Amino acid sequence: MMPQIDNAKERDDWLVRLSWGLFLLGTGAVWLLDNLLNRNLDGLIWIWGGLLLLALNGVRYLVNLKMSRFTLGLGAVLVVIGISDMVGLKISLFAVILIVIGAAMLLDSWIGPRRFKQRDTDYALDEPTNLTPTRP
């Protein structure tokens, strides 16, 4: 449940803190299971981190905040690397990165460039942009 936060940057910061908390809890739980079961579950950490990054951007989209291309791409790479690690495949990181870049280009043309952050200060979709200076 998201608290009522009017400022777009504060909303985004809250979502990022929530994601970090979930990531740390999940990573700790996987490492604990890894030790208790005496198995290699490192791929689950990659998958967990990737799914959290993808979910973070999904929630940003739903609450009318701009998504981050970087965390979308990183999330996709982490999920693919984690799945390949869990099933025992050796997968080329370069090939995965090429696929993610291509998918990001397609996603950008499908969703539109206005949905993505261009810089760190670019948070909300509904905030006005001052592209031309106004004269007094």
Alpha-carbon distance values, 29 to 23, 41, 45, 79 (Å) = 10, 11, 9, 18
Mean per-residue pLDDT of the chain? 81
- Tell me the per-residue pLDDT of 61-118, one tens digit each, with 9 for 90 and over: 888 888 888 888 889 888 988 999 889 888 887 888 888 788 878 877 776 666 666 6
Share of the chain above pLDDT 90, in %: 20
User: What's the pLDDT at 117?
Assistant: 63
Secondary structure element (H or E) that encloses residue 71, with its range: helix 69-87
Model pTM score: 0.70
Confidence of residue 125 (pLDDT cuts 50, 70, 90): low
Domain spans of the chain, in order of start: 8-115
